[in-house]
């Protein structure tokens, strides 16, 4: 009973579970909150980066004694601070700076974490041991303290330096996360299969393992990004933040440490606080949606 | 200026804005506890001894239970009203102190001449690592030998009888009447603690004693000290039952004043708006022994030879310096930024020395036109047409400005200076684009970091009017590295024996102030008010006499049991 | 045959996918008697587990809808609330799952997990419970019950775990057991032991068992009756001999024919083309198997296929079985290929 | 002619412990096995889970480092080859994996998956590449539309066929098939088994077929090796093993295989009980004092058993 | 177990050594030293300051200074604080009690809040209660601790005048009396609540997702099939398994608690080591800075050790030989 498979067309009624962007898009369409967040975030970013091109930072941080602590008015939409500087301008530039800072910290830490996580997870063995020891070491460090010490050590305290210092301490979590995922991915047969057909290790890492951890990375990235916005505010409060000539959301929020400002001059710190809140929330909601899209089990039925 | 005029000027400045003492017509109650707020964002260190303490918080604790033997008048010159009286020898080199009989340590021991000698022996001891061994100390006869371990005693410090002591200097110097060390150490109490262990000993940290109007009842490390009245105080038992000193975070100082948590606390400029609205406190103020300035780095300190060398060509033309001074509007800074708590400085001797402050000096008032003219004259013109001046050779003229962080106002102030100079066409940039934290700032300034062209700083002058420590040719603290023959001559004259003649000394210092004003090695920018918020139940608090509570602490009373609240 | 223990009638279990409900178990009726093993076989995804979980109401409520009736000893389980169901779960009906490692709590000792069953259904004292647990472990052939009692799941081999699983299921002397692929994850040698054990227990206690598997040889070894499921429906049911020796439905026949045997050596195996469509893509009318046997003309299939009783107690869905034949390489029909080669 | 000769192959995985994570012991996954594969035959390796079957297969492909022994492929000892020399042999030996779901990268299209080995070894134009891929897809019975689809769009059997196509592109002589059908439903399993047989004929392949389902092994293999705890306990032709098992472990294995005929049920159970009894009584005589199976000894031309 | 502990402690040594080098190098790299600021008194004699510098060894090559320092540290002697003039150990000793107390309270209240919140929102996910808690979590994520602390201080400390606004105890109450401890607690309420309400967020959110993950595990289904009532399914199976990862991270909490106390102590004028640290950095009191960093690192390492031991007790799969 020789049976021959003929043309397969009639059986190609395959399981078409959607992949990649279509899943994400479907998730966003389902989750109105995430979609709204995406729109809000997009609008904020476009308008902030757009406006900040027009705004003159020097002009905004210019001290003007004639308009100290002015409440919101038509000339100063959100009033001024104790240096007579326009809060609205600072809010825009500050949002831009804070977002940029958060963005780059996230990028750097994730890239670093990704590289180390991939290497440790893929090669395993002593490479993994070494990387894990390093990660454990960093995890046991009193991060805030060391960041403060670092901040006092750097000669020039600029956004770049700040990003670098923060990144130095924040990559470990990502490396751990990615490592454990890569570790389990590397045990899957497709890696062995690629080895068997003679694909070199670096190529396996880049073209096989990486795409399979990408959804995790994207999710981690967004959620980190939310956490890293306004990350400088705490340091500003303690007196180790960015100079005021580089406005940031943290600086604006920190003005609230003056009780007079906190109680009577809401226009100075409230908008920045709301901005942090809105940015964080919307990024978070987007991240949650991405997470659901990446993890079939959590997908909303 | 003459002395009479000077003092009126001082009064004008002081009283223009704030009363110098509280006025309270209510009837005092007997006893009561005064709550004193030590405004600091960090706890006090707890080195509760005049010889060893370093931070200001500790000195605020000290003032309640310890004092110097000699008290000062409003010019910070020693008078005869303190726990000891003094006599100056005819050659002015020897000063003899006689301690009153009823001056006793709070543990009952009498304060003796040996106690004072002991404090000299401690400060001069090679093992002493504090900061009190200063230039005046080394002027005492035999002190250097003792300090270098060549002698067991200081030949210039002689105990004549248990209550009398004399101190002899190598040269006559009028500073003896303002800067002489008169804080004794309770030798008997501390005697068997080795000198290098003193600062950490329990006698100083846990149970320190003094001979002031109050004595320590309980120390809660870092946060509070409870004092009780020292009934045996030589100047009469204090009227209060005690004082409670509490560390108060600057951000909440005003709020604490408002709800009566504390009775007295200093008020900073950023809290002033709030504080002045409070109905339960009165604000009293006084100019401090300090001035802010902007200095030009004119050279460097040659440490090997111990002299300043004025070799930086950048600001040798004094017209540039003057122009930069004219460019600044210090009046607005004081009024707007500091809410009137600071006033434009006209000299490098603050008005808190009524005798020596040269009120005739006008200083540099805001005059951008004049600044521009001076710069034009000096050849600094804008040849490229970008609004910024080039140097006489047509090269870009860039100035790096170093300024300190700290306090809320530092940043806009620095920005304002930059703006002001820009208006007259000078390209001044903040060094490294940011304010520098205290330590880094002084590290760079002290080491003559070549990146610094000009810098903003402040001097606390101490109560000795002699400016040599900051201005002499060989002074390492002459941060601007200004070297000038007239300057050296005048400084010498100011502390010569002749200068014991007040009139003469005033003239010398007037001349000196004019010289500095004309040469502008530094631009004096602001004099500052120290402002205290005082609860309305406090009676008798007065800043006129000497420093702080000195001399009248025992007379302060309260007029109600509880502090008044702002309701 | 003795009295029926479990009677499932027109059970439909639907899952929510994209806010729509799709039946995974579609109008299934079954009866299991005392002392009887009913095997449910079928390809992966045909709804076997869904059916098993429906019986004890173990699907999450907010994503599942169930219709029909499941009557156990006369009570309709579908109408019971959770606390009433809990009186039946574990006590009356025990359940054995496929993957013993994940089905056991990694943080609890085997002993505790067995005792937990007793906790809620008996009022034995602590020591009695322990005694019972040891007895159970012994009963399922665990060599050192005292040791295993204190061990954690990860410390046991797969076979041991599955034995522990069984001892949990039979702890309260249930009269019914549902075993969802109890041996699929195990080696053949272990599988044989476990199957023998189940058989042995059944003999002793007259259990009714639903055994879910996709391995027809396993069915042959233990089942009394067989229900073949396809795409949520039962397409053929009958005694084990009937089904294995005289399969009627094209699906059953194909299934049997694709098993390699000694005789198939160097011969080609029969293959069933295509796959079971996923729930939301499943055609709900006509013969659900028809698209996998395209060479059988459409007229051969019923529009709304029903179960026909062909011989006593041997039912088959859709009359296409009458027309079914295997085909050769030219697509020409081969009629009635002998099944056992 | 022998294509592959495995001699005393050992693979030990280190167990680390102690302060400096030094090696304290080894998992003896494969502990000295020897067998030969002749060109064109199918050799079955069976044994219970964890007996080292996969490890042996992986060692032959150099996917895991052999601790000891030699693996001679056409008289070249693969173990001694360096990376570069090994590259040439990689093409000759290929592997099919157990789990069709995890052995294909879900993020890659079929064309990329199947062309990957070609890209590794040859430089082809896109057109040539496509043609080659299509050729092999056709061989395994997949339609050209499959080219640009992703693995999840295929059923398990189809995926397994993709994996096979991928292994074939390098035109290997030997294919190590590690339980290629055990994750599949019977219906699908049949497809794959048929293919393996077809392809063997067409491409003159030699198979090392790893499995634990004796039915499948029996269906496919000419010779069978039975593994137990990292060692071979019995080896012989399919008939030798199935009809004349000598080692107690082999006997147990065979007795455990369920029979599709319900009528022989009782017999099977009895048979199993007998084997169990025998096992209980004299299992120890089949193993040395460490519980390790003995070396194989020939009992006929084709049949070798690990007896003392 | 003992062997494991010893091994872990041995591993800590190189970690601490590396950290000590790092922190020492950093301290040296900071501009200025403890004596820089003294020049603010114009009468201070710079030669004298230089002499003190020399005497304190501040002019020695860095490695010599490091050697002396680490040698003493090994003996438990962290040197003398430049600003406080007493042994660093004493400086820290004065304050550590407060910080430990505060951290402990924050820790306890955090978990007391987080665990029920996490359980509720995990168990009843997608209900209004869950949404409420998740909303609170989001807000908490976005609110900086210091802003929240300040608001708490002004609302409850000043506006309602319910709690003290600074310090760790009412200084007028005698040590050791009952009132003294009440006053200590009274002073702890605001900082503790502020800290805990913010740090609850991360844990409860984490717990929630753990529970949601565990809920669908096979063994939970097994438990249900045994007829275990829902509440017991949670208490016996889901919760215990969900707490594991939290227990695993307990040790690293210490770093977070220290960071939190830096803020809380600054806001509430609570004298502890967080505040001490900030001040010491500003004053370049290296000995104190170094000691504090080393100490917290050591504490974290011990925390992780304890956390691992706890984990090995709760999780039988982790074996400690
Ligand atoms: N909770 C659920 N939600 C949605 N769909 C489900 C759910 N459980 C099962 N399904 C779907 O229902 C169908 C039947 O699943 P079921 O698990 O009963 O199959 P099975 O016959 O047990 O297969 P296997 O042999 O693989 O265990 C499948 O298509 C499956 O995808
Ligand atoms: N990378 C590894 N490190 C340590 N031990 C391993 C490793 N890979 C496999 N082992 C161990 O080696 C032994 C043999 O494993 P192997 O996978 O070869 O068994 P197998 O016969 O293929 O089993 P299965 O039928 O389950 O696939 C097992 O005990 C396994 O735990
Ligand atoms: Mg199933
Ligand atoms: Mg295997």
Break chain D into its structural domains and give their ranges.
Answer: 2-92+172-306
Average per-residue pLDDT for chain A:
82
D174-216 tens-digit pLDDT: 999 998 888 788 878 888 888 888 889 888 999 999 988 888 8
Residue with tokens 């400002």: A261
E7 vs D17: CB contact, 8 Å cut-off? no
Mean pLDDT split into 10-residue runs, chain C, 341 residues: 84 89 92 93 89 91 90 91 90 90 91 92 92 92 91 89 91 92 86 89 90 90 93 93 91 87 71 79 85 84 89 90 75 47 32
pLDDT value, residue B15:
42
Rg value, chain A, Cα: 24
Q: How many whole angstroms separate alpha carbon C117 and alpha carbon E228?
A: 7
Quote the ligand 2 centre to D50 CA distance (angstroms). 5
Is chain C in touch with chain B: ≥3 Cβ pairs within 8 A?
Answer: no
Rg value, chain D, Cα: 21
Helix segments in B191-336, DSSP class H: 195-198, 202-205, 250-258, 269-275, 318-326, 330-332
pLDDT at E321 over 60: no
Q: How many whole angstroms separate alpha carbon D54 and alpha carbon D66?
A: 13
Rg value, chain C, Cα: 21
Per-residue pLDDT band at B69 (split at 50, 70, 90): very high
Helix segments in B342-437, DSSP class H: 368-378, 410-423
The burial class, CB within 10 Å (0-12 / 13-18 / 19+), for A79 is buried
| A153: region left, alpha or beta (phi > 0 left; psi from -120 to 50 alpha) | alpha
Per-residue pLDDT band at B485 (split at 50, 70, 90): very high
Q: How many whole angstroms separate alpha carbon E24 and alpha carbon D38?
A: 68
pLDDT value, residue A16:
38
E45 vs B252: CB contact, 8 Å cut-off? no
The 10 Å Cβ neighbour count of residue B110 is 15
Residue with tokens 């008048």: B73
The ranges of chain A with pLDDT < 70 are 1-20, 295-301
Element of type H or E holding C230: strand C225-230
pLDDT value, residue B118:
94
Quote the ligand 3 centre to B458 CA distance (angstroms). 81
D89-147 tens-digit pLDDT: 888 899 998 888 888 988 888 999 999 999 988 888 889 999 999 988 888 888 888 88
Token pair of A56 as six digits: 């003159």
Interaxial angle between packed helices E62-74 and E286-314, expressed in degrees from 0 to 180 and rounded to the nearest 10:
50
- CA distances, A120 to each of A11, A134, A193, B270 (Å): 43, 11, 20, 53
Query: What are phi and psi for residue A297, nearest 5 degrees?
Result: -65, -30
Q: Which residues contact E176 (CB under 8 A, 6 or more apart)?
A: none
Q: How many whole angstroms separate alpha carbon D115 and alpha carbon D107?
A: 15
pLDDT value, residue B14:
42
DSSP state of B210: -
Do E263 and E274 form a contact (C-beta atoms < 8 A)? yes
When pLDDT is averaged across residues B490-496 and rounded to a whole number, the result is: 89
Residue with tokens 């009440």: E182
Q: How many whole angstroms separate alpha carbon E308 and alpha carbon C309?
A: 64
Q: To the nearest whole percent, how much of chain E has pLDDT over 90?
A: 26
Strands B454-460 and B398-402: what pairing?
Answer: parallel
* Chains in contact with chain E (at least 3 beta-carbon pairs closer than 8 A): A, B, C, D
pLDDT value, residue B287:
82
Token pair of B38 as six digits: 């030590």
pLDDT value, residue A125:
81
C283 Cβ inside 6 Å of ligand 1: no
pLDDT value, residue C336:
45
D210-259 tens-digit pLDDT: 988 888 888 889 999 999 989 999 999 999 998 899 999 999 888 888 88
Q: Which residues contact E314 (CB under 8 A, 6 or more apart)?
A: C107, E240, E243, E244, E247
C214 Cβ inside 6 Å of ligand 1: yes
Token pair of A23 as six digits: 């899943």
pLDDT at B145 over 50: yes
pLDDT value, residue A12:
33
Q: How many whole angstroms separate alpha carbon B469 and alpha carbon A94?
A: 45
Element of type H or E holding E294: helix E286-314
* pTM (predicted TM-score): 0.85
Residue with tokens 């080292």: D52
pLDDT at B251 over 90: no
Q: Is A59 helix (H, G, I), strand (E, B) or coil?
A: helix
Per-residue pLDDT band at E109 (split at 50, 70, 90): very high
Handedness of CA D164, D166, D167, D170 (dihedral sign): positive
Which CATH architecture fits D2-92+172-306? 3-Layer(aba) Sandwich (3.40)
ipTM: 0.83
Q: Which residues face B539 on adjacent strands?
A: B557
pLDDT at B100 over 70: yes
pLDDT value, residue E16:
85
Do B223 and E167 form a contact (C-beta atoms < 8 A)? yes
A13 vs C294: CB contact, 8 Å cut-off? no
Token pair of D140 as six digits: 């395994």
Token pair of B192 as six digits: 């068997």
Helix segments in E124-252, DSSP class H: 128-142, 145-152, 178-215, 218-225, 230-232, 239-249
pLDDT at E3 over 90: no
Token pair of E104 as six digits: 């402990």
C331 vs A1: CB contact, 8 Å cut-off? no
3-state secondary structure labels for all residues of B498-554? HHHCHHHHHHHHHHHHHHHHHHCCEEEEEEEEEEEEEECCEECCECCCCCCCCCCHH
Counting one residue from chain A and one from chain B, the pairs whose CB atoms sit within 8 A come to 75
Do C305 and C317 form a contact (C-beta atoms < 8 A)? yes
Q: Which residues contact A263 (CB under 8 A, 6 or more apart)?
A: E154
Token pair of E179 as six digits: 């009132």
Helix segments in chain C, DSSP class H: 48-55, 82-88, 100-103, 110-121, 126-139, 145-149, 158-169, 188-205, 216-222, 240-245, 250-257
Residue with tokens 């194989």: D296
Long-range contacts of B473-478 (CB under 8 A, 24+ apart): B473/B307, B473/B308, B474/B306, B474/B307, B474/B308, B475/B308, B476/B301, B476/B303, B476/B306, B476/B446, B476/E39, B476/E46, B477/E39, B477/E42, B477/E46, B478/B301, B478/B308
Average per-residue pLDDT for chain B:
87
Q: Which residues contact B97 (CB under 8 A, 6 or more apart)?
A: B69, B70, B84, B85, B86, B113, B116, B164, B165, B166, B167, B182
* First-to-final CA distance of chain B: 48
Q: How many whole angstroms separate alpha carbon B492 and alpha carbon B478?
A: 15
Chain A hits for D149, CB-CB cut-off 8 Å, are 14
Element of type H or E holding D164: helix D156-168
Q: Is D2 helix (H, G, I), strand (E, B) or coil?
A: strand
When pLDDT is averaged across residues B69-76 and rounded to a whole number, the result is: 84
pLDDT at E35 over 80: no
**Cα dihedral value A250, A251, A254, A260, nearest 10:** -150
When pLDDT is averaged across residues B7-36 and rounded to a whole number, the result is: 71
Quote the ligand 4 centre to D100 CA distance (angstroms). 14
The closest alpha carbon to B505, from B349, B278, B319, belongs to B349
pLDDT at D19 over 60: no
Q: Is some CB atom of chain C closer than 8 A to the CB atom of D155?
A: yes
Per-residue pLDDT band at E44 (split at 50, 70, 90): low
Chain C hits for E232, CB-CB cut-off 8 Å, are 120
Q: Is some CB atom of chain A closer than 8 A to the CB atom of D120?
A: yes
Element of type H or E holding D157: helix D156-168
Q: How many whole angstroms separate alpha carbon D136 and alpha carbon D134?
A: 5
* Chains in contact with chain B (at least 3 beta-carbon pairs closer than 8 A): A, E
| C336: region left, alpha or beta (phi > 0 left; psi from -120 to 50 alpha) | left
Q: Please name the residues between 12 and 71 in chain D that touch chain E, using a CB distance below 8 Å.
A: 17-19
Do B526 and B330 form a contact (C-beta atoms < 8 A)? yes
Q: How many whole angstroms separate alpha carbon B566 and alpha carbon B277?
A: 9
Element of type H or E holding A269: helix A266-294
Chain A positions contacting chain D at CB under 8 Å are 3, 5, 7-9, 12, 14-17, 19, 129, 188-190, 192-200, 207-208, 211-212, 214
pLDDT value, residue E45:
64
pLDDT value, residue A10:
33
pLDDT value, residue C40:
95
Strands C307-311 and C93-96: what pairing?
Answer: unpaired
pLDDT at B104 over 90: yes
| D62: region left, alpha or beta (phi > 0 left; psi from -120 to 50 alpha) | left
């Amino acid at each position: 009973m020789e049976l021959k498979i003929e043309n397969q067309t009639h059986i190609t009624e395959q399981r078409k579970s959607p992949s990649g962007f279509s899943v994400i898009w479907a998730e966003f369409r389902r989750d109105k909150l995430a979609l709204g967040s995406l729109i809000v975030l997009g609008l904020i970013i476009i308008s902030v980066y757009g406006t900040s091109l027009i705004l003159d930072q020097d002009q905004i941080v210019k001290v003007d004694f004639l308009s100290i602590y002015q409440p919101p008015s038509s000339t100063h939409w959100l009033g001024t601070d104790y240096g007579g500087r326009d809060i609205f301008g600072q809010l825009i530039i500050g949002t831009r700076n804070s977002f940029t800072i958060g963005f780059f910290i996230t990028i750097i830490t994730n890239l670093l974490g990704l590289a180390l996580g991939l290497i440790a997870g893929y090669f395993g063995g002593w490479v993994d041991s070494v990387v894990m020891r390093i990660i454990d070491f960093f995890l046991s460090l009193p991060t805030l303290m060391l960041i403060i010490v670092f901040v006092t050590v750097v000669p020039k305290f600029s956004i770049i330096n700040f990003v670098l210092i923060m990144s130095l301490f924040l990559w470990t979590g990502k490396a751990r996360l990615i490592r454990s995922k890569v570790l389990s991915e590397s045990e899957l047969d497709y890696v062995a299969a690629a080895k068997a057909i003679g694909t070199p290790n670096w190529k396996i890492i880049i073209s096989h393992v990486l795409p399979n951890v990408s959804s995790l990375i994207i999710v981690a990235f967004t959620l980190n990004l939310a956490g890293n916005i306004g990350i400088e505010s705490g340091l500003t409060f303690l007196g180790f933040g960015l100079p005021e000539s580089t406005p940031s959301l943290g600086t604006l929020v920190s003005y609230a440490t003056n009780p007079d400002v906190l109680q009577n001059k809401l226009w100075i710190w409230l908008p920045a606080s709301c901005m942090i809140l809105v940015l964080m929330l919307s990024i978070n909601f987007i991240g949650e949606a991405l997470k659901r899209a990446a993890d079939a089990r959590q997908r909303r039925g | 200026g003459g002395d009479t005029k000077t003092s009126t000027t001082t009064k004008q400045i002081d009283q223009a804005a704030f009363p110098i003492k509280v006025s309270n017509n209510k009837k005092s109650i007997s006893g009561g506890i005064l709550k004193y707020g030590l405004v600091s964002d960090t706890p006090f260190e707890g080195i509760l001894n005049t010889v060893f303490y370093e931070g200001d918080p500790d000195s605020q604790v000290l003032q309640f239970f310890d004092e110097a033997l000699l008290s000062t008048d409003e010019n910070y010159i020693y008078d005869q009203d303190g726990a000891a009286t003094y006599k100056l020898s005819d050659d002015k080199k020897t000063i003899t102190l006689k301690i009153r009989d009823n001056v006793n340590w709070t543990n009952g021991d009498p304060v003796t001449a040996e106690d004072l000698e002991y404090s000299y022996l401690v400060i001069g001891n090679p093992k002493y690592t504090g900061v009190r061994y200063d230039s005046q100390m080394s002027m005492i006869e035999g002190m250097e030998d003792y300090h270098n371990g060549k002698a067991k005693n200081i030949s210039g410090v002689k105990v004549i009888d248990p209550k009398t002591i004399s101190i002899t200097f190598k040269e006559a110097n009028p500073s003896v009447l303002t800067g002489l060390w008169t804080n004794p150490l309770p030798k008997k109490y501390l005697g068997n603690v080795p000198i290098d262990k003193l600062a950490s000993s329990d006698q100083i940290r846990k149970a320190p004693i003094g001979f002031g109007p109050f004595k320590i009842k309980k120390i809660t490390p870092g946060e509070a000290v409870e004092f009780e009245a020292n009934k045996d105080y030589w100047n009469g038992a204090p009227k209060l039952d005690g004082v409670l000193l509490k560390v108060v975070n600057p951000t909440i100082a005003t709020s604490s004043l408002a709800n009566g948590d504390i009775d007295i606390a200093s008020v900073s400029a950023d809290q002033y708006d709030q504080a002045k609205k409070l109905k339960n406190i009165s604000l009293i103020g006084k100019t401090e022994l300090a001035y802010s300035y902007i200095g030009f780095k004119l050279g460097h300190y040659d440490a090997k030879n111990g002299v300043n060398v004025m070799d930086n060509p950048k600001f040798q033309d004094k017209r540039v310096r003057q122009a930069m001074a004219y460019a600044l509007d210090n009046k607005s800074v004081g009024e707007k930024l500091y809410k009137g708590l600071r006033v434009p400085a006209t000299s490098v001797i603050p008005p808190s020395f009524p005798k020596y402050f040269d009120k005739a000096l006008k200083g540099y008032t805001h005059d951008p036109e004049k600044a521009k003219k001076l710069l034009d004259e000096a050849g600094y013109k804008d040849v490229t047409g970008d609004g910024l001046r080039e140097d006489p050779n047509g090269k870009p003229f860039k100035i790096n400005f170093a300024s300190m962080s700290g306090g809320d106002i530092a940043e806009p102030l620095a920005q304002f200076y930059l703006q002001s100079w820009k208006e007259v066409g000078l390209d001044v940039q903040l060094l490294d684009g940011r304010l520098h934290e205290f330590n880094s700032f002084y590290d760079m300034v002290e080491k003559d970091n070549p990146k610094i062209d000009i810098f903003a700083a402040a001097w606390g002058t101490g109560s000795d009017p002699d400016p040599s420590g900051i201005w002499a040719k060989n002074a390492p603290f002459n941060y601007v590295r200004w070297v000038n023959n007239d300057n050296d001559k005048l400084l010498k004259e100011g502390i010569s024996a002749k200068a014991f003649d007040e009139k003469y000394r005033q003239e010398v210092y007037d001349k000196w102030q004019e010289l500095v004003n004309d040469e502008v090695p530094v631009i004096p920018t602001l004099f500052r008010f120290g402002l205290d918020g005082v609860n309305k139940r406090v009676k008798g608090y007065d800043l006129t006499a000497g420093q702080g509570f000195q001399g009248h602490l025992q007379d302060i009373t309260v007029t109600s049991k509880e502090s008044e609240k702002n309701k | 045959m003795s009295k029926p223990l479990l009677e499932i009638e027109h059970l439909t279990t639907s899952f929510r996918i994209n806010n729509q409900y799709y039946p995974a178990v579609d109008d299934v009726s079954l009866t299991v008697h005392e002392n009887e093993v009913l095997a449910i076989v079928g390809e992966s995804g045909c709804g076997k587990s869904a059916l098993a979980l429906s019986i004890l109401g173990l699907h999450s409520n907010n994503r599942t809808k169930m219709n029909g009736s499941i009557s156990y000893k006369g009570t309709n389980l579908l109408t019971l609330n959770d606390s009433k169901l809990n009186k039946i779960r574990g006590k009356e009906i025990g359940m054995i799952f496929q993957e013993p490692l994940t089905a056991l709590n990694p943080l609890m000792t085997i002993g505790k997990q067995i005792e937990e069953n007793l906790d809620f259904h008996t009022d034995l004292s602590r020591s009695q419970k322990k005694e019972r647990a040891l007895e159970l472990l012994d009963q399922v052939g665990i060599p050192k019950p005292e040791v295993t009692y204190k061990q954690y799941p990860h410390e046991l081999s797969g076979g041991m775990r599955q034995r522990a699983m069984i001892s949990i299921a039979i702890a309260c002397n249930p009269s019914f057991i549902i075993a969802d692929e109890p041996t699929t994850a195990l080696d053949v040698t272990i599988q044989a032991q476990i199957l023998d054990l189940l058989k042995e227990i059944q003999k002793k206690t007259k259990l009714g068992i639903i055994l879910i598997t996709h391995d027809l040889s396993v069915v042959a070894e233990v089942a009394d009756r067989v229900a073949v499921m396809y795409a949520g429906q039962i397409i053929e049911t009958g005694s084990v001999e009937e089904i294995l020796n005289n399969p009627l439905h094209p699906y059953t026949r194909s299934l049997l024919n694709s098993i390699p045997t000694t005789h198939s050596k160097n011969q080609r195996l029969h293959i069933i083309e295509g796959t079971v469509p996923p729930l939301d893509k499943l055609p709900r009318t006509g013969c659900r198997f028809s698209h996998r046997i395209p060479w059988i003309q459409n007229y051969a299939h019923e529009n709304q296929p029903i179960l026909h009783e062909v011989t006593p107690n041997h039912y088959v869905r859709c009359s296409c079985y009458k027309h079914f034949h295997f085909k050769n390489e030219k697509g020409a029909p081969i009629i009635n290929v002998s099944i056992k080669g | 002619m022998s294509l592959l000769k495995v001699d005393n192959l050992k693979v030990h995985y280190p167990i680390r412990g102690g302060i400096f994570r030094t090696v304290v012991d080894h998992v003896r996954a494969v502990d000295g096995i020897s067998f030969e594969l002749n060109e064109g035959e199918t050799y079955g390796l069976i044994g219970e889970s964890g007996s080292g079957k996969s490890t042996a297969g992986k060692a032959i492909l150099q996917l895991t480092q052999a601790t000891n022994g030699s693996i001679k492929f056409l008289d070249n000892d693969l173990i001694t080859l360096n990376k570069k020399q090994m590259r040439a042999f990689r093409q000759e030996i290929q592997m099919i994996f157990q789990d069709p779901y995890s052995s294909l990268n879900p993020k890659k299209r079929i064309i990329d998956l199947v062309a990957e080995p070609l890209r590794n070894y040859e430089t082809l134009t896109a057109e040539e590449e496509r043609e080659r891929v299509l050729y092999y897809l056709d061989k395994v019975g997949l339609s050209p539309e499959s080219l640009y689809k992703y693995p999840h769009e295929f059923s398990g059997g189809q995926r397994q066929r993709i994996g096979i196509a991928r292994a074939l592109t390098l035109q290997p002589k030997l294919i190590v098939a590690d339980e290629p059908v055990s994750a599949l439903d019977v219906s699908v399993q049949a497809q794959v088994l048929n293919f393996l047989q077809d392809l063997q004929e067409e491409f003159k392949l030699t198979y090392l077929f790893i499995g634990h389902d004796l039915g499948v092994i029996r269906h496919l293999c000419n010779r069978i090796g039975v593994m137990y705890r990292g060692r071979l306990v019995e080896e012989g032709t399919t008939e030798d093993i199935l009809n004349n098992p000598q080692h107690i472990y082999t006997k147990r294995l065979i007795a455990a295989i369920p029979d599709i005929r319900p009528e022989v049920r009782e017999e099977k159970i009895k048979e199993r009980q007998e084997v169990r009894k025998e096992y209980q009584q004299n299992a120890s005589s089949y193993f040395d004092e460490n519980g390790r199976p003995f070396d194989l000894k020939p009992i006929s031309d084709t049949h070798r058993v690990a007896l003392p | 177990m003992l062997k494991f502990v010893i091994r872990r402690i041995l591993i800590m040594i190189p970690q601490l050594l590396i950290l000590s080098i790092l922190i020492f190098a950093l301290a040296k790299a900071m501009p200025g030293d403890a004596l820089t600021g003294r020049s603010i008194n114009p009468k201070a004699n710079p030669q004298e300051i230089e002499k003190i510098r020399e005497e304190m060894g501040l002019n020695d090559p860095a490695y010599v200074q490091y050697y002396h320092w680490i040698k003493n540290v090994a003996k438990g002697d962290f040197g003398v604080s430049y600003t406080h003039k007493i042994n660093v150990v004493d400086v820290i000793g004065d304050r550590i009690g407060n910080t430990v107390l505060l951290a402990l309270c924050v820790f306890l209240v955090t978990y007391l809040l987080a665990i029920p919140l996490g359980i509720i929102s995990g168990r009843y996910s997608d209900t209004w209660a869950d949404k409420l808690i998740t909303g609170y979590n989001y807000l908490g994520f976005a609110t900086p601790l210091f802003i929240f602390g300040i608001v708490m201080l002004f609302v409850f400390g000043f506006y309602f005048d319910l709690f003290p606004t600074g310090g760790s105890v009412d200084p007028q109450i005698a040590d050791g009396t009952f009132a003294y401890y009440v006053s200590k607690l009274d002073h702890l309420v605001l900082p503790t609540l502020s800290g805990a309400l913010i740090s609850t967020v991360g844990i409860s959110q984490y717990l929630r997702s753990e529970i949601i993950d565990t809920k669908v595990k096979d063994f939970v289904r097994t438990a249900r099939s045994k007829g275990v009532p829902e509440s017991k399914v949670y208490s016996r199976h889901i919760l215990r398994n969900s707490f594991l990862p939290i227990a695993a991270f307990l040790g690293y909490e210490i770093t977070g608690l220290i960071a939190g106390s830096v803020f809380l102590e600054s806001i509430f004028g609570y004298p502890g080591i967080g505040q001490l640290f900030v001040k010491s950095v500003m004053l370049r009191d290296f000995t104190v800075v170094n000691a504090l960093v080393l100490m917290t690192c050591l504490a974290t390492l011990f925390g992780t050790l304890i956390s691992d031991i706890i984990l090995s007790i709760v999780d039988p799969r982790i074996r400690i030989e």
